[in-house]
Chains A and B, each alone.
Chain A
Amino acid sequence: MNLKRTRMVALTLALPMLMAACGGDPTATVPVPTATTAAAVATATTAMAAPTATTAMAAPTATKASAGATATTSTSNAEPTANVAAATIRVGTWESGDALNLWNDLIANFKKQYGQINISFEPVPDNYGTKLLTQIAANDAPDVFQVGDGDVRMFVERGGAAELTDYIKGKDNLPGLDTTIYYPSLYQTGVVDDKSYFLTKDYSPLAIYYNKDMFDKAGVAYPKDGWTWDDFQNAAVKLTTGSGADAQYGVVLPGNWVRAVEPFIFQNGGDLTSPDGTKATGYLNSEASVEAVQYYVDLYTKYKVSPSPADVGTTFQGVDLFQTGKAAMTLTGIWPESGYASDPNFHFGVVGLPMKKQRANAICWAGLGLYKGSKNSDQAWLFLRYIGSEAGQTAFGANGLPSMPAVADKLGISKDANKSAFLNENQYLTPLPDMRSRWWNDTTAKYFGQALDNLLADGGDVKAALDDAASKADADYAKLSTQP
């Protein structure tokens, strides 16, 4: 009997060892669902952050238009050519599904010009950020890699991204880049401390979609560009009716999605952190910020014009309330637009964000940069430059928005009644506080998100909640920024 007992004990002792070891790397054993097949910009904000209920809400598929729109890329080829040696360059992206068609067409067109440059395309839809960081740590990263807005500073400060300044000026015999062809605010998104690191792939500001039929039925006038917080609230209240399964919501607000709440704060003249990104106290809990958050929270708890974040995350998970006619308005980016537009019976309009003291907006942005350790950075630059050229921006403009006014005109975006509303918001883009500090997600974004969770569920004193969030964020910033 002793023998059997000993075996059992030995086996049982071995179990936690094995299992705890496996437990260290959950990604190895757990199948991970593809976060979303939505447009690039939709995933840009979430690629390295935990997917939240609100971003899932903002990410319906919108890439169907991709295949047809790329036919135009091959025709525009006013590109200068350079003589470079043959090489293979690797390109990393988090995209998947239909979005890859855009890439494949773009690569094929690039190769027509530079036959000697071979492109090894490496899409990583799951845990892209983790994989990229490990590759950089192992000195084996893709020569050209995609990055989301929130990670720009991290890649610059930790040293994965190469500075583009020399290439932009025209290094050796390579073609340089005239950066005045871009919208200034877009070009600036890839600039850190006055040095250029990333070029825009695609992006979207935020805007309000409204259902014309529902507005007509309720006898409410369509919103007009330049409308105010009061206009927005009044329309939302009038369009909120019914309850339970018959509930109709005035608007789907973005819950605790910090990026989409930021514009309210900017519109009221507030901010989330100090300009150098080191302090939240005095900014996140300033009078202007508190007032803006109070307005936002009241829409949920006092006027009840939006489904609660809990409802969006559970009852309506995976349901586009705006498209299904359960909500008269929605606040999001351009990614669902082509999907909505493909239904001729769905009558909707798009209008810029409402204003308070001023107009303001926040961007969702995906860019591409050069890997600092690249052995073929000249060839990689030619490819990156191609993406930033008219041809590249024409291709990716099918998904999000192009970074060049010329391409926006060429694709008809600036004439399109709905898409132009997004384009028009470019001039109101406020530089993201997200990009001031690499600890943003661990500090202000984290505690502001938690404060929103609490406020939207229970209401409560906004000022006290933001005071608390700001002081916690500052304490963590002090801790994180001084660690070795």
Chain B
Amino acid sequence: MAVLASPRKAGKSWLAGWKKSETWLFYLCISPWLIGFLIWTAGPMFYSLYLSFTSWDLFTTPQWVGLGNYKDIFTDNPDFWQSMKVTAIYTFASVPLSLVGALAIALLLNSKVRGIAFFRTIFYLPSVLPAIAVAVLWIWVFNPLYGILNVLLGLVGIKGPSWLGDPNWALPALIFMSLWSLGGSMIIYLAGLQGISTTLYEAAELDGANKVQQLFKITIPQLTPTIFFNLVLSIIGSFQVFTQAYAMTQGGPRQSTLFYMYYLFDMAFIKFRMGYASALAWILFAIILVFTLLIIKSSSLWVYYESETK
């Protein structure tokens, strides 16, 4: 990547660059990561690609089945389609909501009021809590009879549903819960906001632009690289949701929270169908790759870098 990013003078051959002692030093310095990547990431990844064409129960030697796993997944597996549906709904609901929510909070936290450090801490706090602790906490929030959510709804005369126990409400409940932990993207927005030059706002104010105009004409365009980054990150994250399903609902009730990763986990580590699960992992990889490429492709239309004009 660094090689790609370092522009070379025309006429200088690749070999000449390689001979430079700096290049050697560069590879020497990154070698721990490079070797680590090859052994611990690339190696297992390609082995799992091989496994996805086999039937393997951990015990016996893997048996080659060709495209059998993929064929079965796509043609004869209602659980797979259910898990795709659940994951897609979750992604398309929670990603926009959390992007907008995190931006809104970041904008508020970027204002200069007394005690802003306190508020920043409070809003960031949920993101540093372990996911399991958050899950256990929300199990209580969602308790139909004693949970704070239904108690509050009861005060305004609404009889809340049984949330995690109700197939229609379990997934919306998890989407709602995801909005609690948006501190991660919030802090990145905040950094992005602070990187916007104040001269732009000063100039806009002199020209008579109001706050709303400043938001849409300066802040958001200037922030698009950050939005782009957060978008990619949260899409990947939401395709891989696992902890909530594992700790709170076990995919239920009635498969209404059967997230893709939970289904994969179930296949791999409960049912010990490693080949099948590897095929599922590579399908997920392909889906995430396609989404990421689409976003990157589209980014030239809506992402602005500093003084760039379009």
Interface size range on A against B: 35 or more
Are A50 and B270 interface neighbours, CB within 8 A? Answer: yes
CA distance A137 to B296 in the complex (A): 42
With A31-B132, A133-B59: A24-B44 Cβ-Cβ less than 8 Å: yes
B233 near A: Cβ within 8 Å? yes
Which residues of chain A are within 8 angstroms of B58 by Cβ–Cβ distance? Answer: 130, 133-134, 136-137
Question: Count of B residues near A, CB < 8 Å?
Answer: 73
CA distance A475 to B32 in the complex (A): 50
The reply on A277 being an interface residue by CB < 8 A is no
Q: B232 → chain A, closest Cβ, in Å?
A: 5
Mark A15-26 against chain B: 1 for CB-CB distance below 8 A, else 0.
111111101101
Interface flag for A464 (CB, 8 Å): no
Identify which of residues 1-52 in chain A touch chain B, using a CB-to-CB cut-off of 8 Å. 1, 3-21, 23-24, 26-27, 30-33, 48-52
Q: Nearest Cβ distance between residue B292 and chain A, in whole angstroms?
A: 5
Query: In whole angstroms, what is the CA distance A245 to B289 when docked?
Result: 49
| Residue among A7, A17, A130 having the largest count of chain B Cβ atoms under 10 Å | A17
Contacts A6-B4, A16-B292, A133-B58 given; indicate if A315 touches B281 (C-beta within 8 A). no
8 A Cβ contacts from B255-310 to A: 255, 261, 264-266, 269-272, 278, 281, 284-285, 288-289, 292, 296, 305-308
Question: Which stretch (A80-88, A97-105, A232-240, A449-457) binds chain B?
Answer: A449-457
- Asked whether any CB of chain A lies closer than 8 Å to the CB of B200, the reply is no
CB contacts (< 8 Å) of A453 on chain B: these are 252-254
Find out whether the CB atom of A245 lies under 8 angstroms from the CB atom of B254. Answer: no
- CB B250 to nearest CB in A, in angstroms, measures 6
Chain B interface residues (CB < 8 Å from chain A): 1, 4-5, 7, 41, 44-45, 48, 55, 57-60, 63-65, 68, 72, 76, 130-132, 136, 139, 142-146, 162-167, 225, 228-229, 232-233, 236-237, 240, 242-243, 246-247, 250-255, 261, 264-266, 269-272, 278, 281, 284-285, 288-289, 292, 296, 305-308
Whether B250 and A441, one on each chain, are in contact in the complex, defined by CB atoms closer than 8 angstroms, is: no
For residue A275, CB closer than 8 A to chain B, the reply is: no
Chain B residue with minimal CB distance to A317?
A: B139
Judging by beta carbons under 8 Å apart, are A314 and B281 in contact? no
A303-342 at interface with B (beta carbon < 8 Å): 308-311, 313-315, 317
Contact call B285/A20, Cβ cutoff below 8 A: yes
Can you name 16 A-B pairs with beta carbons within 8 Å? A12-B296, A19-B240, A20-B285, A23-B240, A30-B131, A30-B246, A32-B246, A127-B269, A133-B58, A133-B272, A308-B165, A310-B162, A314-B143, A441-B271, A479-B76, A483-B55
Q: Let me know if B288 and A20 touch, CB within 8 A.
A: yes
Nearest-neighbour CB distance to chain A for B243, whole angstroms, equals 5
Could you say which residues of chain A place their CB within 8 Å of the CB of B131? 30-31
Residues on B with beta carbons closer than 8 Å to the beta carbon of A160: 59
Establish whether residues B271 and A52, one from each chain, have CB atoms under 8 Å apart when the complex forms: no
A442 touches B271 (CB 8 A): yes
Are B44 and A12 in contact (CB-based, < 8 A)?
no
* A251→B246 CA distance, assembly (Å): 28
Q: Is A364 positioned at the interface, with any CB of B under 8 Å from its CB?
A: no
CB-based contact A16/B164 at 8 Å: no
A484 at the interface (CB under 8 A from B): yes
| Across-interface contacts of B305 in A (CB, < 8 A) | 1, 4-5
Interface residues of A in 112-166 (CB under 8 A from B): 127, 129-130, 133-134, 136-137, 158-160
Q: For the complex, is A53 an interface residue (Cβ under 8 Å from B)?
A: yes
Say whether A344 faces chain B, with CB atoms less than 8 Å apart: no
Nearest residue, chain B, Cβ from A472 = B78
Q: Would you call B281 and A20 a contact (CB within 8 A)? A: yes
A244 located at the interface, meaning its Cβ lies under 8 Å from any Cβ of chain B in the complex: yes
List 4 A-B pairs, minimum CB-CB distance, nearest first. A310-B165, A484-B63, A314-B165, A20-B285
Q: Which of A7, A19, A314 contacts B236 (CB 8 A)?
A: A19
Cβ–Cβ contact A454 & B269, under 8 A: no
Question: A7 CA to B41 CA in the complex, in Å?
Answer: 21
Q: Is the CB of B130 within 8 A of A50?
A: no
Pair A12/B63 contact, Cβ less than 8 Å: no
Are the C-beta atoms of B252 and A21 separated by less than 8 Å?
A: no
- Interchain CB contact under 8 A, A313 and B253: yes
Max chain A CB contacts within 10 Å: which of B58, B131, B228, B251? B58
Separation of A129 and B270 alpha carbons in the complex (Å): 8
Given known pairs A23-B281, A311-B144, A317-B143, the reply for A457 and B253 (CB within 8 Å) is: yes
A15 contacts B145, C-beta separation under 8 Å? no
Query: Known: A26-B242, A311-B165, A450-B254. Contact between A12 and B229, CB under 8 A?
Result: yes
A49 to chain B, nearest CB (A): 7
Known: A13-B292, A52-B250, A133-B58. 6 other contacts (CB 8 A): A13-B296, A20-B236, A26-B242, A158-B59, A313-B252, A453-B253
B270 touches A49 (CB 8 A): yes
Contact flag A26-B265 (CB < 8 Å), given A15-B233, A50-B250:
yes
Which chain A residues lie closer than 8 Å to B63 at the CB level? 483-484
Choose one: A3, A23, A33, A310; the contact of B253 (CB below 8 Å).
Answer: A310
* Bound form: Cα–Cα A441–B250 in Å: 16
- Once A13-B292, A15-B232, A133-B272 are accepted as A-B contacts, the answer to whether A245 and B44 lie under 8 Å apart by CB is no
Which partner residue on chain B sits nearest A56 by CB separation?
Answer: B250
Is the CB–CB distance between A313 and B165 below 8 Å? yes
For B292, the closest partner residue in chain A by CB is A16
B296, A9: Cβ atoms closer than 8 Å: yes
- For A313, what are the chain B residues with a Cβ–Cβ distance below 8 Å? 164-165, 252-253
Contacting pair B236 A315 (CB below 8 A): no
Q: Is the CB of A20 within 8 A of B139?
A: no
Which residues of chain A have C-beta atoms less than 8 A from B64's C-beta?
A: 484
CA distance A20 to B228 in the complex (A): 19
